[in-house]
Structure 1
């Protein structure tokens, strides 16, 4: 009789451990699926944002030219600010390049110029680079110093 009780107790213990293992595996699976779903969303955003970056560049180029109509310029600046705000809320950040040490992961050197500065310092940013959620989606195109 005691052997039967012990045997049933052992079986209950074994089944309980199996249940706990299955629950842990399911929880890990759920977390992995959530993470993969989030990564998929981030990559989808990345493609959309990459297609919008030329628009950002054109806004910047337009600001360099002096417009005659100040109200028009202010209106375009407001649109630009709103557009950038939306992109920033999605995780887009410009790469700070000017005066920084050249980093091949963040910068693309297009030109090199002799300078009295330390070698491989970014002297000029030719095109702004961007990160999305800490991932470089477009490197800054830069001019760097050389000896």
Structure 2
């Protein structure tokens, strides 16, 4: 018996150009490549998480420092008031009132520099966003008008930090407006 060549013969005898084909990745090579990619991504993730945690801690520390320094500036300014109060207490009674008035002006200036301003309440309409009514009293003012400030309120910039304690008018006395009956 003769051996026959069973290799298929191309129909046209033109030689086909061979394209270099990389050998398919073996399962082990593919797995190793995926493990390497995973380790790279995991490393990037861990670094990013650590960077974010450091950023968060640094931001919190910076915020705390900023608050402490703001309080420090206020404290230094208030110490000036304390010094002047001590001097006023050592002075004679004749100059005491003048000294206290000057200290009050100094304190108001310090508060204003730090954005703290008093709430103007007297003769204004009662506003629960700024005022705390501690009494309702009869007066000649219209009902709901602030007629007395028991304790002033303050704002720090636009935020109310202490409500003004006020007495609010009930309106005119009821016996003043009662119609007189004729007989």
Structure 2 match to 1:14:
none
TM-score with structure 2 length normalisation?
0.44
User: Aligned pair in 2 of structure 1 residues 78, 115: CA closer, same or farther (>3 Å)?
Assistant: closer
- 1:87 matches 2:111: yes
Structure 2 unaligned regions, length at least 5: 1-58, 86-91, 172-183
TM-score, structure 1 as length reference: 0.54
Aligned length: 95
Structure 1 residue 129 displacement after superposition: 0.4
Of Structure 1 and Structure 2, the greater helix share is in 1
User: What's 1:76 paired with?
Assistant: 100
Does residue 135 in structure 1 map to residue 162 in structure 2?
no
- In structure 2, the partner of 1:117 is 141
C-alpha separation in 2, matches of 1:78 and 1:87: 14
Q: Secondary structure at the match of 1:123?
A: strand
Cα RMSD (Å) of the superposition?
3.3
How many angstroms does 1:69 deviate by?
A: 1.8
Distance 1:77 1:115 in 2: 31
Secondary structure of 2:101 counterpart: helix
Determine the C-alpha separation between the residues in 1 that align with 2:104 and 2:94: 15
Give me the whole-angstrom Cα distance separating, in 2, the residues matched to 1:145 and 1:69: 39
Distance apart, 1:77 and its partner CA: 1.8
What whole-Å deviation, never above 9, does each CA across 1:24-81 have from its counterpart, x for those lacking one? xxxxxxxxx8xxx5xx74xx75xx79xx8xx9xxx9xxxxxxxx82312212222221
Q: Which runs of 4+ in 1 moved over 6 A?
A: none
Larger RCO (alpha carbons 8 Å, 6+ apart)? 1
Q: 1:82 and 1:140 mapped to 2: Cα distance?
A: 22
Taking the TM superposition and a 5 Å limit, the aligned residue runs for 1:43-62 are none
